[in-house]
Chain A
């Protein structure tokens, strides 16, 4: 492995120069001041209305230097397929929890457009760092659906090899994965690779210390990391107003010296437009970006939660009308890209994934108790060998007892 040439040895003169360089490069590239580049546009980026009609260019929230070309038809159709699959995955998994096949499932029902865009904006060698609610994004990156659900079925803490699809492990501490994303990007940059890393978190998570540390590290080391915040309005029961009184979460970007943007998180067209451009800018060397998507967690935090205790049904109904699937379907139909046959084909594909989940998760895979000791270290300790032997002895004895009882 080769570490690329030293690009960091600079004099203080150079440091002063840097601000000017940055400002002039922003002016040259985007035609706006560095502050206007870093601050989000006045309004969120939204391209398609909830009824599927296209917003006029003036109403899309774009501004000079914050311009977003509409994604191509092929990309939109591929994304719509994933959107339908994602919805089916969410609802199938929630059903499997009710049937006792899984311990828990934090559904992203209502947030599928964010999930799909997060996965689709990346290229093959890029990395995605999801949260526990981002299983749909994980699957959209190519991870096997049943492997992605291992964590919730309870056989092991995760079921997939992160390196196979460059997808970090879903786990429950908040924003700790953002720093892992920063490290992956930093390592890639040191080797001269053009890897982009997209790191996901929610609105509540922006209160965590690691959110701050990750954004600051990414900005200081000028790393190609996109911080993608799904603002679904609630951290379990606590509304956004208790997390932050910033003008928006995207406004936090300017404090770190990176660009921020807001986007309608139920508008898949706008999401793809904003994230595609963010990936492009990051890959070109513009440093990290913070994207805030406005969406809504339509269901409770998990099956163990009761959302009626902290939010009115009327609010949920309001968001029901903004559903990302209905919107995208109407938009693509109007555009002449989607007909009944197309819809049927996509529904069939979604059903196939649901069947895969049902069959895969209904299968009782026996757990291996001795695996408890197998992966704690690369090189096991004598103490773990002893403890493994103790458990192996217990297992052998209970096996013998069972056999004798069977005779």
Chain B
């Protein structure tokens, strides 16, 4: 039995190494503001974390040579070798369970679930171990583990490729749930997730992977270094994505751009809407959300997921509990219907749209 037999063999590894390493190097050298995609921001975050800390490992299905089905791990195997970025057998519970053991033994795994609905075989490991190990051991075992989940719709995907699964994880005590909506947050929040000693469900809105923005990666790196040095982070902080005065649109992940488009359309009609980007579902930023609602007196929560027993229902409950006397109207929601995620030709009927958001805003009892 050869002790040198380890991960799967592939003759194309070395061929890919040169080109991918070159592209990774190009990213590392880039300075000043540049237009990049969220995919590139996430990729750069992992590469930077792996350069800084050899205990950071990336693995999952097709994340090696292929660079992931969404190319988010592109070039990592080439730069860091097959020991630190590798493909596993096709088994999600195995991926998460092995990551738990690695986290117990000094590593900081960053693992990819290929699609939202493909993460379900790992549910037991996530709920019963990832979420509970720290508590079970009274903090003796930390779980510095990031589970990246491409999620939600808007890409015309076939069934099982578009689920909004964030509520399952948000409902599980012991997990933190992040979801970036901007290119800069893609970098910033993934770095924070990898730095965290707590397990993070990192929900990546797949329809935003190819969204572009001008960001200064060096400035983001400097910001990350300063936060890491000062022990400060923006964990659990929501952002005001667009300031406004008359009503608050509360959104996260894939719904943030839709909410911003709705606010822009409302502005043309002379109505000023504030848009809050939740960023971190767990922990939740009651302070920022409630400050906005107290100011505007009206709110609509927007989420792609089914509304029933969901993150959106939680947000409505929290706002109602904390802002009741400031509300001029009931807090409304624009969410996915309580139906299984639709087929590609039907998904636009299901997803929150600008019109549906504006209709909800119109219903906020303005006649008073």
CA A168 to CA B135, docked complex, whole Å: 14
A285 within 8 A of partner (CB)? yes
Q: Are B98 and A182 in contact (CB under 8 A)?
A: yes
Name the distance in Å between A353's Cβ and chain B's nearest Cβ: 24
- Complex Cα gap A329–B283 (Å): 59
Task: Report the nearest A residue to B53, measured CB to CB.
Answer: A1
Q: Fill in one digit per residue for B67-92: 1 if any A CB lies within 8 Å of its CB, else 0.
A: 00000000000000111101011010
Compute how far the CA of A13 lies from the CA of B11 in the bound complex, rounded to whole angstroms: 8
Query: A84 vs B55: C-alpha distance in the bound complex, in angstroms?
Result: 43
Task: Select A9's contact among B2, B13, B88, B89, beta carbons within 8 Å.
Answer: B13
Q: Would A8 and B6 count as touching, CB distance under 8 A?
A: yes
Nearest CB in chain B: distance from A200 CB, A: 14
- CB interface residues, A 375-390, toward B, < 8 Å: 375-379, 381-383
Q: Is A186's CB within 8 Å of the partner chain B?
A: yes
B99 at the interface (CB under 8 A from A): yes
List which A262-295 residues lie within 8 A (CB) of chain B: 281, 284-287
Is A133's CB within 8 Å of the partner chain B?
no
In the complex, what residues of A have CB within 8 A of residue B14's CB?
9, 11
The 14 sampled A-B contact pairs (Cβ below 8 Å) are A7-B6, A8-B6, A9-B82, A11-B14, A26-B1, A179-B94, A184-B101, A185-B101, A190-B84, A210-B93, A217-B88, A374-B139, A375-B134, A383-B284
Query: Secondary structure at chain A's binding surface: helix, strand, loop or mixed?
Result: helix
Binds A, one of B37-45, B120-128, B154-162, B332-340: B120-128
A14 near B6 (CB under 8 angstroms)? Answer: no
B234 to chain A, nearest CB (A): 13
Q: Are B97 and A210 in contact (CB under 8 A)?
A: yes
Would you list which residues of chain A between 348 and 407 have a CB under 8 Å from chain B?
371, 374-379, 381-383
Contact status of A216 and B94, CB under 8 A, knowing A12-B11, A375-B134: yes
Name A180's contact: one of B4, B101, B137, B284 (CB within 8 Å). B101
Q: Are B1 and A286 in contact (CB under 8 A)?
A: yes
Which 7 pairs of residues, A with B, have the shortest CB-CB distance?
Answer: A183-B101, A285-B3, A179-B97, A381-B283, A213-B94, A15-B9, A187-B105
Once the chains bind, are B81 and A181 in contact (CB under 8 Å)?
no
Interface residues on B, range: 35 or more
Q: Which A residues between 216 and 235 are near B, CB-CB below 8 angstroms? A: 216-217, 220-222
Residue B137 contacts which of A169, A185, A284, A286 (CB distance < 8 angstroms)? Answer: A169
The contact string, 1 if C-beta is below 8 Å from chain A, for chain B 135-151, is 11111111000000000
Known contacts A13-B11, A381-B236; A222/B134 CB under 8 A: no
Contacts of A210 in B (CB 8 A): 93-94, 97, 124-125
Q: Cβ of A169 and Cβ of B136 under 8 Å apart?
A: yes
Q: How far does the alpha carbon of A377 sit from the alpha carbon of B196 in the complex, in Å? A: 10
Q: When A179-B98, A180-B129, A383-B284 are in contact, do A162 and B106 touch as well, CB less than 8 Å?
A: no
Q: Is the CB of B102 within 8 A of A375?
A: no
Tally of contact residues, A, Cβ under 8 A: 71
Q: Which residue of B lies closest to A6 (CB)?
A: B81
Chain B residues contacting A171 (CB-CB under 8 Å) are: 128, 136
Taking a contact as CB atoms under 8 Å apart, the answer to whether A8 and B94 are in contact is no
**Interface contact A379-B196, CB-CB below 8 Å:** yes
In the complex where A8-B83, A9-B82, A213-B89 touch, is A377 in contact with B129 (Cβ < 8 A)?
no
What are the interface flags for A1-36 relative to B under an 8 Å C-beta threshold, 1 for contact and 0 otherwise? 111101111111111001001100110010000000
Question: Residue of B at shortest CB range from A218?
Answer: B98
Given contacts A9-B13, A21-B2, contact A376 B135 (CB under 8 A): yes
- A-chain residues with CB within 8 Å of residue B11 when the two chains form the complex: 11-13
B7 to chain A, nearest CB (A): 4
Q: Does B119 have its Cβ within 8 Å of any Cβ on chain A?
A: no
- Give 12 A-B pairs besides A179-B98, A184-B101, A217-B89 with Cβ atoms closer than 8 angstroms: A4-B83, A6-B82, A7-B83, A18-B2, A18-B9, A162-B137, A173-B129, A180-B98, A217-B91, A284-B3, A285-B1, A377-B134
Per the bound structure, the CA–CA distance linking A217 and B133 in Å amounts to 22
Q: Answer whether A378 and B139 are a contact pair too, CB < 8 Å, given A6-B81, A176-B97, A184-B104.
A: yes
Q: Mark A66-101, 1 if CB is under 8 A from B, else 0.
A: 000000000000000000000000000000000000
Contact B81 A9 (CB under 8 A): yes
Of the candidates B89, B97, B282, the one whose C-beta lies within 8 Å of that of A183 is B97
Q: Is A163 close to B, CB under 8 A?
A: yes
Shortest distance from the beta carbon of B62 to any chain A beta carbon, whole Å: 15
The B interface is mostly helix, strand or loop, or mixed, namely: loop
* A158 in the interface (beta carbon within 8 A): yes
In this complex, what residue of B is CB-closest to A377? Answer: B198
- Are B97 and A163 touching (Cβ within 8 A)? no
- Please name the residue on chain A nearest to B285 by beta carbon: A382
Interface status of A191 (Cβ within 8 A of chain B): yes
User: Does A209 sit within 8 A of B, measured CB to CB?
Assistant: yes
Smallest Cβ-Cβ distance to A4: which chain B residue: B83
Q: Is the C-beta of B54 less than 8 angstroms from some C-beta in chain A?
A: yes
Most A CB contacts (10 A, CB to CB) among B5, B14, B83, B140 go to B5
Given known A-B contacts A7-B83, A379-B198, A161 and B128 have beta carbons under 8 A apart: no
A1 partner residues in chain B, CB cutoff 8 A: 54-55, 106
Within the assembled complex, what's the spacing in Å between the Cα atoms of A216 and B286?
45
B365 within 8 A of A: no
| Residues of A close to B138: CB separation below 8 A | 156, 158, 371, 374-375
A88 to chain B, nearest CB (A): 28
Are A12 and B9 interface neighbours, CB within 8 A? yes
Q: How far is the CA of A37 from the CA of B141 in the complex (A)?
A: 38
Q: Nearest chain A CB to B169's CB is how many angstroms away?
A: 14
Contacts A25-B1, A378-B139 known; A173 to B128 CB distance under 8 Å?
A: yes
- Are B3 and A12 neighbours in the complex by a CB distance under 8 Å? no
Q: Report Cα–Cα, A391/B288, bound state, in Å.
A: 25
B174 cross-chain contacts in A, Cβ below 8 A: 376-377
0/1 per residue, B5-36, Cβ < 8 Å to A?
A: 11111110110000000000000000000000
Most buried by B among A12, A183, A222, A287: A183
Choice from B81, B121, B283 contacting A383 with Cβ under 8 Å: B283
A188 beta carbon closer than 8 Å to chain B: yes
Tell me the complex Cα distance, A209–B95, Å: 13
A-side contacts of B235, CB under 8 Å: 379
Which chain A positions have C-beta within 8 A of B284? 381-383
Interface status of B298 (Cβ within 8 A of chain A): no
The CA of A143 and the CA of B27, in the complex, are separated in Å by 49
Binary CB contact string for chain B from 172 to 215 against chain A (1 if under 8 A, 0 otherwise): 01101000000000000000000011100000000000000000
Chain B minimum-CB-distance residue to A151: B136
